[in-house]
Structure 1
Amino acid sequence: MVDKTLDDNNVKGVEYARELAEAEHGLQGDSVGVTRTLTIAIAIMWSLFQLSIASWLIMDTLYIRAFHLAFAILLVFLNVPMMKGNPKWRPDLRFLMIMNRVTILDYILGILAAFAALYIFIDYDGISMRYGAPTTRDILFGLMLVGLLLEATRRVIGPALPVIAILFCMYAFLGPYMPDVIAFKGVSLNRFIGQMSMSSEGIYGIPLDVSATIVFLFVLFGTMLEKAGAGHFFIQLALCILGGFKGGPAKAAILGSGLTGMVSGSSIANIVTTGTFTIPLMKKVGYPATKAGAIEVAASTDGQLAPPIMGAAAFIIAEYVNVPYIEVVKAAAVPAFASYAALLYISHIEASKLGLSGIPRAELPKFIPTLMSGLHFLLPLGMLLYELIALRHSPELAAFRAILVLMGIMLLQKPIRAKLAGQPLLPAILQSVKDIFLSMAEGARNMAGVAMATAAAGIIVGVVALGLGGLITQIIDVLSGGNIFLMLVITAMASLLIGMGLPTTATYIVMASLTAPAIVSIGGLQGFLVPLMAAHLFCFYFGILADDTPPVGLAAYAAAAIAEAPPIQTGLQGFMYDIRTAILPFMFIFNHDLILHNVDSWPQGLLIFGMACVGNFAFASATQGWFIAKNRFYEIPILLTITMVMFRPDLISRLVGLPYDMRYWVYPVGLILWGVMWVIQRPRQQKADAALA
């Protein structure tokens, strides 16, 4: 009965959502003939190269970045035409219609771009000897790389990032002619090219390094896991556990999206994977289309926050902050899981408002058979966690070994099923091998957009490194009037604005390069000690939240297409659900306990997590207008007080004169107020239940 809901879904909406997911990565998958074969071959070669450098192939890190960029940029030019769609051209310009498909010109541009990317590898000895004094040939190849990289990025993720990069490049040259407030001494062409294409501080900088060494393997792991069937397993398992409760499909969507989002790293891809199944189920039990889509949007967007496998930007945080990745996981754990717990709570509130029940248990898949059918998918995840947490191995080594386990599962599962069904083994084995190679190709194709985003963002980082960093801090200080609170609001709004046109990773890189050091320095000037990790996570969170921010949030468009709902209303509803996530960065900037800064005790960590959940529940009740019954206006201040007590015990303890070490003693106050709210609303809940009965 549950599976039948898939047949009732809007097929066109699902296809549109898939197109958005493909557009996020940049590769449309519509190439045919020789181009398709060549694309698959190059993508498989790229995956094999990445697996090799994670295991046996030893190369200089700059060479790895160059080859990574060359593979990615070549794939983009072979897959994404210069112009998309089929516009109605003027009769005298009709010959330009050829630009909406890949042509020989794109082949030529792709080869030139790949060669320009590899130029630093081809002539490394010469470049290293003349750094700072590039020759005419160096300048020619450098300009070619910058230009073709920006064009490839435009094709992949749209014009926003290239335009921002071009503005930064113009600023680097025109700085002396700017108004005094933003005046900059400027750079020469030689210095610019040396920084961008002849060093590891521009295009070949830290973002591209993380993309080449770590992110690729995790994207490949997520793609292969989905290809093996884990996404469907996670959804079925979530339905078994939560489907029978009030608003069960929504809760199952949240759990399933969280499990899938941990490995997909993409909110839109997560919606396409899980939403095609969960959104119709939510509508079936009574959720309006807009709210069904919005819940999936909120769940899938927050998947990038969930440890242990977060979005690509999380690995870049580790490099920027110069800490092991496990420290990023530790810092993100409490806010991420408290955010998911609050979303489950919101789904319960919505079900209570609408008077919904769950799916009858008879219509749900059985737990034990479902668990046993996909138990093997937990092995590669277990290997990954064991490598990261227990053995403390590097993320790339952990991902590589998890991929090996996953390959073994993919190689064996179909032959075993064929054997049990009495079918011939050879076709099953051949299909398994084919699935492995096709998933490797798909993983590489999914990486093209990330690689372009990190390389193009490297141009912005490189310009900032030319000497703009201190100036940007001064400008932000002037804009915010030296007020840390106003500066955080400006940073959040700028992240949401820029994130409308950029992928999460690029948004984070741009905003972290510009504002993270400023947050730390300005906070210090005002007496607030802001850990660098907190500043980077602040930019990371708001870069992710841009995915569902109207009017351009692509995640909302994807979910709305599946739900057959208006996209703007879906985005607005999703943003209302995500407000409970948006307050978390403002809280952990000042309360470092929330990111477990200098917290090494499990009991202390669990206490902080539990109280953060209560605080988030209270804030969700205040913003959603419901606790256990509909709120009255005078109850909202009580709920907001609970929120502040649970999120900022340090502030409350300081206000009442308690020393910092006794800050946790204010938690009972919040719990008492929580109980008071329950007592106040309980009669109204009983009256409402009696009316429904």
Structure 2
Amino acid sequence: MKTAKPVADILAACLVLTAIGWAMSFQRRLGLDLYPQQFFAAVLFFTLPIAYLTMPARRGTERQAVPLHDVALAAVSMLAVGYVAIAYPTLVLQIFTRPPELWITGLIIILLTLEALRRSTGWALVLIIAAFILYALIGDMIPGRLQGRPQNWQLLAGYIAVDSNGILGLPMSVASTVVIAFILFGVLLGITGGSQFFTDAAMILMGRFRGGSMKIAVLASGLFGSISGSAVANVVGTGVVTIPMIKKDGYPAHKAGAIEAVASTGGQLMPPVMGAAAFLMAEFLAVPYSEIVMAALLPAILYYVALFIQADLEAAKLGIRRIPASQIPRGQMVAVGLHFVLAFAVLIYLLFWQRYQPERAALWSALALCATALVFGYGGIRPGVRALLGSIARTGYSVVEILLISAASGIVIAVLNITGLSFNLTYALVQIGGGSAILLLLLSAIVCIILGMGLPTLGVYVLLAALVAPALIEVGIEPIAAHLYVLYFGMMSMITPPIALAAFAAAAIAKAPAMATGWAAMRFGWAAYVIPVLFAFSPTLILIGDPGAVLFAALTAALGVWLISASLAGFFRGRLSRFKRTLFGVAGLMALVPEGAFEGALLTDVIGIVMGMLLIVSELLRRNPDPMTEASQ
């Protein structure tokens, strides 16, 4: 079939128009009383056929024409998902009675979703999700505390496909609303010249420094993430501008996506606003919100210091030079594009003063962007109405991979819920680690990350604050430290494979492999895996204790972050040998450990400081640093 492209274009446009209509509540104006899951099913109704009409069965090959079997799969997917969308009010009440029309339809949707995911992202995610499904079917055969409830496969198929904790659950909710709206905003930025304006502005601000684009991404995403409260929304909101900018600077695509994901995710930890979980934490602990802000301040600063240092060292390591002065645009030329700032001003105003839903705020901002671009333009670009309308279909194509990953994430969440695996993990954690703070912290971190897969940080925090934080407090950890600990690791699920929604969203924008982006995000975000363990043992890192001890902990922690970041990057003034990378890492860890973490920690601090300073001096005295590095500084 050679006429699939026009059909796919129509489906892509319908996908985005459906999301716009839902965000603007058109269904209510038409008198339609719909479940949100019917809307999510409608989005999947367009997503699956687009995947089969545009993605070849063999990844990496060029498609000349669409084979008939893919046309058939597209048609079957529309019939199955369309049936769920229409009959949802009836089907959702029949999950546990297992009528054939439900479990057969559910089985078709699951298999077609996994196959579309394989075509989009490869086998890794599909195999992981298949392992969860297998656990759901044979979990009762697993001995010990992780034994699951036995599941009938017909019940499982219907539950995954229809229940609000399955494919049509929270990840699909975020992707179908917030993600589509912000991706549309980003596509419009590209068409109207807005992306070029921000690239030019970045050159003026940071073009004379190496790694300027990554540093701008860290700053912008951290600030926006502090008040957005959603890592994924932040990725798609700022990443549509920063990721192309970083790639243009010469960074690999997966690293561009990774650093955006880490910067966006960390915004929920950055005072003064932080994410919604911080306000809930104040309620849990019955303390003023200002105490939460003060406790979170130093760890958040260390998190972003580590990220900023790695951005700088990565630029040096990759030999990314400073932009020649002749290539940096003139301020007067860039000032013409200041009208693009109005769209972002509208976005911020609607989000934080008018309390609009993110997707609706993004759509109004997109409208403001179109209006100013049609009047003023930028750099010789003044798009016509036809080009702006064409952005709708382009957006539809751009969000297919994110929607498929979100639908697949719902399968994992469904298994966690229906088998009782999430509760079993938490119960086992408390029982196994109840008498040992170190073991309990380690197990808590693992459970937080597992439970956070595909779930919003707020939901994970509520669960862990009720079930795990009391156990941490029981073994002597400060209450505020215990709650920050579970918040940190619940948040890190957003960049920790196998279900790392923020990293995968960034990968889709960067057009990079999802898993490679996830692993790179873990390396860039290493501080968030280490610092919570340290402040759990020594509250000086959350500004509790003698001011002198707090200042000493802050300074030694900053040195430790610098040394470890250099070790992970494999670069300081020049490339580091494996032996020196190891020394930098050991010295950094010793310096990072706060004085009050354990008896004798002061000695490790001193050793780490002395060792670190000697390593720094030895690097500064190097006679032959990398020539490309000298050129880029």
- Partner SS for 2:56: coil
Query: Does the 8 A contact of 2:171 with 2:410 survive in 1?
Result: yes
Q: Which moved more, 1:42-51 or 1:252-261?
A: 252-261
- Partner SS for 2:346: helix
Q: Deviations over 1:449-505 (max 9, x none)?
A: 11111112211211110122223345667998971454478679x99xxxxxxxx98
In the alignment, which residue of structure 2 is the partner of 1:15?
A: none
In the alignment, which residue of structure 1 is the partner of 2:284?
A: none
2:389 to 426, 429, 437: 437
1:313-462 → structure 2 map (5 Å cutoff): 334=301, 337-346=304-313, 358-361=322-325, 363-414=326-377, 431-462=383-414
In the alignment, which residue of structure 2 is the partner of 1:233?
A: 197
In the alignment, which residue of structure 1 is the partner of 2:54?
A: 79
Q: Take 2:413 and 2:469, find their aligned partners in 1: how far apart are those partners?
A: 18
Query: Does the 8 A contact of 1:219 with 1:264 survive in 2?
Result: no
In the alignment, which residue of structure 1 is the partner of 2:25?
A: 56
Cα deviation, residue 276, structure 1: 5.4
In the alignment, which residue of structure 2 is the partner of 1:288?
A: none
1:678 to 1:345, Cα distance in 2 relative to 1, 3 A: farther
In the alignment, which residue of structure 2 is the partner of 1:172?
A: 136
1:198-597 → structure 2 map (5 Å cutoff): 198-245=162-209, 248=210, 250-255=211-216, 265=236, 273-274=244-245, 277-279=248-250, 293=251, 298-307=255-264, 334=301, 337-346=304-313, 358-361=322-325, 363-414=326-377, 431-466=383-418, 467-473=420-426, 483-487=439-443, 523=472, 526-528=475-477, 529-531=482-484, 532-543=486-497, 579=523, 581-588=525-532, 591=535
Q: Deviations over 1:115-170 (max 9, x none)?
A: 32232332234335544213222222222222222222222222222322232222
In the alignment, which residue of structure 1 is the partner of 2:66?
A: 102
Q: Take 1:54 and 1:582, find their aligned partners in 2: how far apart are those partners?
A: 36
1:122 to 52, 70, 86: 86
Q: Take 1:240 and 1:148, find their aligned partners in 2: how far apart are those partners?
A: 48
Q: Deviations over 1:502-546 (max 9, x none)?
A: xx986999x979x97887577466454244432321222334998
In the alignment, which residue of structure 2 is the partner of 1:24?
A: none
Q: What amino acid is the match of 1:432? A: G
Query: Does the 8 A contact of 1:153 with 1:452 survive in 2?
Result: yes
1:617 aligned to 2:592?
A: no
1:220 to 1:233, Cα distance in 2 relative to 1, 3 A: same
Query: Does the 8 A contact of 1:173 with 1:188 survive in 2?
Result: yes
Q: Take 1:586 and 1:160, find their aligned partners in 2: how far apart are those partners?
A: 27
1:138 aligned to 2:102?
A: yes
Q: Take 2:526 and 2:415, find their aligned partners in 1: how far apart are those partners?
A: 30
Q: Take 2:584 and 2:488, find their aligned partners in 1: how far apart are those partners?
A: 32
How many corresponding residue pairs? 562
1:45 to 5, 9, 14: 14
Q: Deviations over 1:4-36 (max 9, x none)?
A: xxxxxxxxxxxxxxxxxxxxxxxxxxxx95311
Q: Take 1:623 and 1:170, find their aligned partners in 2: how far apart are those partners?
A: 36
Q: Take 1:83 and 1:630, find their aligned partners in 2: how far apart are those partners?
A: 39
Query: Does the 8 A contact of 1:44 with 1:444 survive in 2?
Result: yes
Query: Does the 8 A contact of 1:297 with 1:548 survive in 2?
Result: no
In the alignment, which residue of structure 1 is the partner of 2:77?
A: 113
Q: Deviations over 1:327-384 (max 9, x none)?
A: 9999997566434432354358759xx8x984443x2324413431432222222222
Q: Take 1:192 and 1:617, find their aligned partners in 2: how far apart are those partners?
A: 49
Q: Deviations over 1:593-651 (max 9, x none)?
A: 99x9999xxxxxxx999997666335435656877899999987765555445xxx874
Cα deviation, residue 436, structure 1: 1.6
Q: Take 1:159 and 1:141, find their aligned partners in 2: how far apart are those partners?
A: 24
State the TM-score, normalizing by the size of structure 2: 0.70
Q: Take 1:43 and 1:441, find their aligned partners in 2: how far apart are those partners?
A: 5
In the alignment, which residue of structure 2 is the partner of 1:604?
A: none
Q: What amino acid is the match of 2:244? A: T
Q: What amino acid is the match of 2:50? A: L
Cα deviation, residue 554, structure 1: 8.1
Q: Which moved more, 1:70-79 or 1:341-350?
A: 341-350
Query: Does the 8 A contact of 1:243 with 1:359 survive in 2?
Result: yes
Query: Does the 8 A contact of 2:217 with 2:242 survive in 1?
Result: no
Cα deviation, residue 275, structure 1: 5.1
In the alignment, which residue of structure 2 is the partner of 1:500?
A: none
Query: Does the 8 A contact of 1:306 with 1:336 survive in 2?
Result: no
Q: What amino acid is the match of 1:230? A: G
Q: Which moved more, 1:399-408 or 1:171-180?
A: 171-180
Unaligned runs of 5+ in 2: 29-33, 225-233, 269-273, 282-288, 545-551
Q: Take 2:584 and 2:411, find their aligned partners in 1: how far apart are those partners?
A: 50
Q: What amino acid is the match of 2:48? A: I
Q: What amino acid is the match of 2:56? A: P
Q: Take 1:643 and 1:100, find their aligned partners in 2: how far apart are those partners?
A: 56
Cα deviation, residue 409, structure 1: 3.2
Query: Does the 8 A contact of 2:454 with 2:501 survive in 1?
Result: no
Query: Does the 8 A contact of 2:425 with 2:447 survive in 1?
Result: no
Q: Take 2:151 and 2:116, find their aligned partners in 1: how far apart are those partners?
A: 25
In the alignment, which residue of structure 2 is the partner of 1:92?
A: none
State the TM-score, normalizing by the size of structure 1: 0.64
1:637 to 1:469, Cα distance in 2 relative to 1, 3 A: closer
Q: Deviations over 1:275-325 (max 9, x none)?
A: 55322xxxxxxxxxxxxx46x7545411123349989xxxxx98999979x
Q: Take 1:164 and 1:625, find their aligned partners in 2: how far apart are those partners?
A: 31
Q: Take 1:175 and 1:307, find their aligned partners in 2: how far apart are those partners?
A: 36
- Partner SS for 1:338: helix
Q: Which moved more, 1:407-416 or 1:140-149?
A: 407-416
**Identity across the alignment (%):** 18
- Partner SS for 1:541: coil
- Partner SS for 1:232: helix
Q: What amino acid is the match of 2:496? A: F
- Partner SS for 2:48: helix
Query: Does the 8 A contact of 1:615 with 1:643 survive in 2?
Result: yes
- Partner SS for 1:374: helix
1:189 to 1:620, Cα distance in 2 relative to 1, 3 A: closer
1:2-41 → structure 2 map (5 Å cutoff): 34-41=3-10
2:112 to 118, 129, 148: 148
In the alignment, which residue of structure 2 is the partner of 1:666?
A: none
Query: Does the 8 A contact of 2:41 with 2:84 survive in 1?
Result: yes
Q: What amino acid is the match of 2:54? A: N
Q: Take 2:358 and 2:553, find their aligned partners in 1: how far apart are those partners?
A: 27
